[in-house]
Structures are given as C-alpha cells and as structure tokens.
C-alpha cells in the first residue's frame, strides 16, 4: 500500500502525463519540435515526472520494478543538466512509446 507522499508523487506523474498528452495533442513530430513553447512545456513536465520518481521511497520502487523509475530520473537529469543537448528522437520516442505504458502502470498503482 502506498503512503500519502507516494500517492501524491504518483498523482504528480499522472497529471504530468495528461498535460503532455494535452500539449502535444494531434500535432506531428515536425509541428511539435517547431513550436518552442509546446516543446518547453512538455520538457518541463518530463522534468516533473522524473523529480517525482526521484522522490519516491527506494522501498516502494523496489516493490514495483515494473515501473522504469530510474529511466524517469535519468530523463530528468538529462533535461536539467544537458538542456541544450536535448535529443529529439529520445523525446519523441518517450512521448509516443514510453509515456502510454507509464500511464497504464501508474494508473494501476493508484487505488480506484
């Protein structure tokens, strides 16, 4: 069972995923990367996801290895420390492939 802080972090992750989905919407990859405001908003939400994952207890993360906690933290670290070197392929793959799986996993961790 998740404690109050863990539930809050899971909600932060899910809220950020929903914001990213809203920000990207139906735009193409080209449209997305051509829109600096949209890109900045999405990158910020990836940072929030990574920070929430970083703050989770190690015990909870070990109890739920199906969630790629370290990948989220790694993405956050890359965005924070290497902002000018953001790899478009990694960002787009994370959005199109990884985010839907993460959303499903986090949703299952939260009580209905």
Catalytic residue among 18, 54, 62, 81: 81
Active site residue 81: yes
Catalytic residue among 29, 44, 64, 76: 76
The rounded distance, in Å, linking the Cα atoms of 72 and 30 is: 24
Active site residue 18: no
* Residues recognised as catalytic: 76, 81
């Amino acid at each position: 069972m998740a404690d109050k802080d863990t539930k809050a972090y899971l909600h932060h992750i899910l809220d950020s995923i929903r914001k990213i989905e809203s920000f990207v919407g139906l735009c193409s990859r080209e449209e997305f990367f051509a829109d600096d405001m949209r890109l900045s908003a999405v990158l910020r939400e990836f940072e929030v996801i990574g920070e929430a994952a970083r703050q989770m207890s190690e015990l909870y993360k070990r109890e739920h290895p199906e969630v790629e906690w370290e990948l989220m933290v790694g993405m956050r670290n890359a965005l924070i420390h290497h902002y000018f070197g953001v790899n478009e392929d990694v960002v787009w793959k994370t959005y199109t492939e990884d985010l839907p799986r993460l959303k499903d996993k986090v949703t299952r961790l939260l009580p209905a």
